[in-house]
Structure formats: C-alpha cells, structure tokens
Amino acid sequence: IERRLAGESAQPEGVLRISSADWFACYVLAPVLKELGQRYPLIAPEVIAGHRLFDLARRDADIAFRIVPFTEPDIVHRKLTTLSYGVYAAVGLPDPAPQGEGLGLITMSIAQAHYPDVLWLQQRYPLARTVFTSSSRTIQARMCAMGQGVAVLPRVLGDQVPGLRLVDPQDPPPGRDIWMGYHQDMRQMDSLRALADLASSMIGSA
C-alpha cells in the first residue's frame, strides 16, 4: 500500500531515495542529479552510498544503480551503459615491470575479490602483491594517487582524480555494465520517473 500511494503522487516532489556506489554517485550520477534539481526543484534526492544491495520491495531505496543485474521479482530494470575501466598509477612513478616485480596492488576487499577487474589485475601482474584493499573505489583512487600502488578504476573516476595517470591504455581491464532498477509499484512515482528518464538519456547515451 505504501509503495502504491508513493507511486501515485501527483507532483514531482519529496524525498527520492537513491542507492549506488559512492564513486558512481560522485562521478556519474552527480551531473544527473544537478539537472534533476534544476528541472524539478521540489525533489530532494537522498543518496545512500555503498555496496549493500537494498531491498527495493521494502522501500529501503526507491531506485538503485549497480553493476550487479537485478534478479528480484517485480523489479523494473534496464542496462544503462557499459563503463570502461583502466589501470592507474600515481603521476611521476615509473611504469610497472612486465610481471609486476616489486609492485603493490590496490584492489577490492575480500567480499569483492571475485570481481573481473580484480582477477584481471592479479593475472596481469602475477609477481605483484596486494598492499591495500577497500570496498570503495574512491578510497582506492586516493591511495593510488599517493603512490601506494596501482589500481583498476572506472575511467570516469580515474581520469578525473588529480595525481593519477593511465597505465597502458592499449591493454585495458574488462568493463562493467551499469544497471538501474526500481519496484514496479513505483513506476508511476513522478520523481522516480523524472530521474529514470534523465539517467537513461544522460548516462545511457554517454
């Protein structure tokens, strides 16, 4: 009942709860949210940043953006785009040795150790060792810029962080698909539809 009532709001206004990773909110979603605010000033976006997969049926969030496809029933979802990734090192540091001798790796935490880019980085530099892990790409980027090691980052993040440079762009790691989803009962919610349409046009065409 709560979902249906929220979905029948006549005006695009009120709090809109958005779930996404912190880096995605900062470097991909922020321009969309700025445009949303300019067009619909009564909508108050609330970004819940993190890797937790929120329960959209229970309205833990109204709409979610993530790299994991949605499999839950009653979820309206679509692939927005595929983001390119790259290997980054601090500006001023030499290129890594071919096998990674003496190289430090900055990767995802144990819970995300199965991610394709983590496995790719470990295979690319088999003699390197992991020196730092975090579930936050933003923190990884910061540690990489401080010279702690090399990291695989989304290009949209790594290309904008001062102090980072792209390593060997001719041999990039695998990219990741970005999915958007919300519960079907919320499809008539004006604020949600406004964000979904903007995200589809601004991110989907990027």
Higher pLDDT among residues 187 and 130, named by residue: 130
Residue recorded with tokens 């008539």: 188
How sure is the predictor about 7, in pLDDT bands with cuts at 50, 70 and 90?
A: very low
Indicate if the pLDDT at residue 10 is higher than 80: no
* Cα–Cα distance measured from residue 46 to residue 78, given in angstroms and rounded to the nearest whole number: 21
Q: Average pLDDT of 52-75? A: 77
Residue among 47, 43, 41, 60 nearest 2 (CA)? 60
pLDDT in tens, 83-117: 999 999 999 999 999 999 999 999 999 888 889 99
Q: What is the mean pLDDT of residues 56-64?
A: 75
User: What amino acid occupies position 102?
Assistant: G
pLDDT band with cut points at 50, 70 and 90 for residue 205: low
Strands 63-66 and 85-90: unpaired
Tell me what the mean pLDDT of segment 160-188 comes to. 91
Q: What mean pLDDT is predicted for residues 66-76?
A: 86
% pLDDT > 70, the chain: 89
Q: Is the pLDDT of residue 1 over 60?
A: no
Strand partners, 78: 180
The answer, yes or no, to whether residue 49 has pLDDT greater than 60, is: yes
pLDDT value at residue 117: 93
